[in-house]
Amino acid sequence: MTIEQALRRHPLPRLESRMLLMHAWPGLSHATIVGYPERELAEDIAMVFDALAARRLAGEPMAYLLGVREFYGRDFAVSPAVLIPRPETEHLIEQALSRLDAAQPARVVDLGTGSGIIAVTLALQAPQWRVSAVDLSAEALEVASGNAAALGAQVDFRHGSWFDPLAPDDRFELIVSNPPYIERGDRHLGEGDLRFEPRGALTDEVDGLACLREIAAGAPARLLPAGWLMVEHGYDQGAAVRGLFCAAGLLQVETIRDLAGQDRITIGQKRAD
Ligand SMILES: C[S@@+](CC[C@H](N)C(=O)[O-])C[C@H]1O[C@@H](n2cnc3c(N)ncnc32)[C@H](O)[C@@H]1O
């Protein structure tokens, strides 16, 4: 079977089928696919490709099939144990880097690190910062620590719930989190990529605000004076999260919109004294 015949066997978008074929055939380039479509596929490669295409047609996300997703210009390994990195989360990185001086030492913790994209990216963008990362999922922490090692980032990973695994006297200039914020019963949980992502990364199984409530309430005791809390949340949760931040006594509370113009990130600062 030729490359062209293999690609035609599955009714997938052309780019997706080419990416899956390149994944099945290490060393195959996009230029070869386009320039030499008459090249023959080895039988074992055709079988791997057919299996990947069948999984894609059944809805499995490309990121899980390829095992990788780009975030902030770097490739992160992903598996079904972690949320697939979203481009919106880059706003958290930009906020962190714009509110804290990357050239000065600072202590940072990423709560619910998943694949480690936030912690690893901050550790690489601001090598002076000491970055910790927490997750309830041991499987996610394995993926995250693999990413830190592969990308050469120093991150202190902790297993447990939110602030629990931190030392009692740990205090931070920055607490950052993209927690589960979809409410139980939201129809999106049964649609698209979300069907394949870990449920514990998506929903708090309550009203969508349970994790955000816990993080906002716990943050002031863990922030240094003038330290920042920054969280990602749903497009319709901006007002509620600002309320949680204000109730926790944080100042300069502000919601930042994503590129689609939707409320996406809320930030707040602890008093300076
Ligand atoms: C929305 S995902 C975010 C993953 C990653 N930070 C990102 O932005 O792609 C939320 C993460 O929070 C973790 N998580 C859920 N409940 C937690 C808890 N009580 N304590 C710590 N982590 C928790 C999940 O395992 C998941 O990895």
| Residues whose beta carbon lies within 6 Å of some atom of ligand 1 | 82-83, 85, 89, 111-115, 117-118, 134-137, 140, 161-162, 178-180, 200-201
Strand bridging mode 223-232 / 263-269 = antiparallel
Query: For the residues 203-207, what does the mean pLDDT come to?
Result: 96
Contact between residue 23 and residue 53 where contact means Cβ atoms under 8 Å apart: no
Mutate to test the pocket of ligand 1, among 82, 186, 193 (most ligand atoms within 8 A of CB): 82
> Are 29 and 151 members of one domain?
no
Q: What is the pLDDT of residues 228-241, one digit of tens each?
A: 999 999 999 999 99
Residue 76 domain-assigned?
A: no
| Shared-domain flag, residues 119 and 173 | yes
Q: Residues 91, 221: one domain?
A: yes
28/139 Cα distance (integer angstroms): 31
Q: What pLDDT was estimated at residue 273?
A: 77
From ligand 1's centre to the CA of 89, what distance in Å? 13
User: What is the number of alpha carbons within 13 Å of residue 131 lying toward its C-beta?
Assistant: 28
- d(CA 227, CA 253) in angstroms, rounded, equals 12
Task: Tell me: pLDDT of 97 over 80.
Answer: yes
Here the CATH number for the domain that contains residue 236 is 3.40.50.150
Nearest atom in ligand 1 to the alpha carbon of residue 164 is 20
Task: Over range 73-102, report the average pLDDT.
Answer: 97
Q: What is the average pLDDT across 168-191?
A: 96
Q: Are residues 137 and 48 in the same domain?
A: no
Identify whether residues 40 and 122 lie together within a single domain: no
Residues 54, 86, single domain; the answer is: no
Containing structural domain, residue 158: 81-269
Q: Would residue 74 count as lying in a domain?
A: no
Query: Does 240 lie in the same domain as 135?
Result: yes
Chain position carrying tokens 């200039």: 173
* 227 domain-assigned: yes
In a domain, 69, yes or no: no
Domain count, the chain: 2
Asked if residue 31 belongs to a domain, the reply is: yes
Q: Are residues 86 and 153 in the same domain?
A: yes
For position 98, what pLDDT does the model report?
97
Q: What is the 3-state secondary structure (H, E, C) of the chain?
A: CEHHHHHHCCCCCHHHHHHHHHHHCCCCCHHHHHHCCCCECCHHHHHHHHHHHHHHHCCCCHHHHHCEEEECCEEEECCCCCCCCCHHHHHHHHHHHHHCCCCCCEEEEEECCCCCHHHHHHHHHCCCEEEEEEECCHHHHHHHHHHHHHHCCCEEEEECCCCCCCCCCCCEEEEEECCCCECCCCHHHHCHHHHHCCHHHHECCCCCCHHHHHHHHHHHHHEEEEEEEEEECCCCCHHHHHHHHHHCCCEEEEEEECCCCCEEEEEEECCCC
Average pLDDT, integer, range 94-117: 98
Q: Are residues 90 and 37 in the same domain?
A: no
CB atoms within 10 A of CB 101: 12
Atom 6 (ligand 1) nearest CA: 113
Q: Share the mean pLDDT of the chain.
A: 97
Burial tier of 187 (Cβ tally within 10 Å: 0-12, 13-18, 19+): exposed
Residue 162 CA, closest ligand 1 atom number: 20
Give pLDDT, residue 149.
98
- pLDDT bucket at 72, cuts 50 / 70 / 90: very high
How confident is the model over 113-168, as pLDDT tens digits? 999 999 999 999 999 999 999 999 999 999 999 999 999 999 999 999 999 999 99
Instruction: Kindly give the interhelix angle for 117-125 and 138-151, rounded to the nearest 10 degrees.
Output: 30
Predicted confidence at residue 204, as pLDDT, reads: 97
The protein residue whose alpha carbon is closest to atom 16 in ligand 1 is 136
Whether residues 122 and 10 fall in one domain: no
Residue with the nearest Cα to atom 2 of ligand 1? Answer: 201
Distances (CA, A) of 124 to 73, 99, 101, 131, 203: 12, 17, 14, 10, 29
**Does 70 reside within a domain?**
no
Q: Which residue has the tokens 């990362």?
A: 133
Tens-place pLDDT, residues 245-257: 999 999 999 999 9
